[in-house]
Amino acid sequence: MTARRVAAVILVLPLTLAFALGLVAGRLDATLLNPGFVKQQARDLRLYQRLHEDGTRRLVRDTLDHPEKRPANLRVIALPTDRTAEDRVTALVQSFLPQSFVQSETEETIDQLLPWLAGRSDHFTINVSLHDGLVSTFGHPTAGQASTFERTWRDLGMGQRTVLSIARTYDADPANAGKPVPGAPPNIRTVTAAVELRGESAGTW
């Protein structure tokens, strides 16, 4: 190979590489870094619907099956894990995070984040409002009508389950061993037994 050819190769290779990188960067800027393109792809793939329906159900199922993944204050409560419980909790979460919310918040994040990643913006701001979800889940549609949360709480017997978990925690404390249980029959020696004796009325909300 002559010196001229070597020089040509040395010059052409960097230019070819720069050209290829330019094509890739241009393609990325027009596709993956383009908010409009990404949002349209998400809509075409029904991503928001899948997240709201399948994603929520899988998250609920995983949380019910693995107590260690629950918030610390819920780990001691024996949550039901059957299909009915899965359906009720899934509906509750979907009420709190409706599909319209998932889509609007995701697309707002895309609009803020992608320009920053592409270098077209030097900062991004993401604001998430849970006001509507809180109102739809915990609010009362009409006076005297139970909220979505309250109906789910009752359907799953959470009052009884919560009282039982508190009673078991109390009984498990050695400092409480042998203490009398106020209002319980003489043969009832633990708070847990007293709660179980009262049945569902112990957890009435």
Q: Within this chain, do residues 149 and 176 fall inside the same structural domain, yes or no?
A: no
Q: What pLDDT does residue 199 have?
A: 67
Neighbours of 162 (CB within 10 A): 19
Cβ 202 vs Cβ 181: under 8 Å: no
DSSP character at residue 187? T
Residue 142 tokens, joined: 């009409």
| 182 pLDDT tier (thresholds 50, 70, 90) | confident
Range of the domain at 199: 158-205
Q: What pLDDT does residue 65 have?
A: 92
Cβ 77 vs Cβ 165: under 8 Å: yes
79: left (phi over 0), alpha (psi -120 to 50) or beta: beta
Last residue of a domain, one of 156, 178, 194: 156
- pLDDT tens column, 87-138: 999 999 999 989 898 889 888 988 888 888 877 878 878 888 888 888 889 8
Q: What is the average pLDDT across 147-174?
A: 89
Residue 193 tokens, joined: 């037994």
Does some domain include residue 5?
Answer: no
Q: Within this chain, do residues 191 and 114 fall inside the same structural domain, yes or no?
A: no
Cα torsion at 115, 118, 119, 124 (round to 10°)?
Answer: 30
Alpha helices for 97-139 (secondary structure H): 99-117, 131-138
- pLDDT over threshold 80, residue 13: no
The pTM assigned to this predicted structure is: 0.70
Percentage of the chain with pLDDT > 90?
A: 19
| 18 pLDDT tier (thresholds 50, 70, 90) | very low
Domain count, the chain: 2
Q: What pLDDT does residue 7 have?
A: 42
Distances (CA, A) of 76 to 16, 44, 67, 116: 63, 42, 8, 43
Q: Within this chain, do residues 80 and 149 fall inside the same structural domain, yes or no?
A: yes
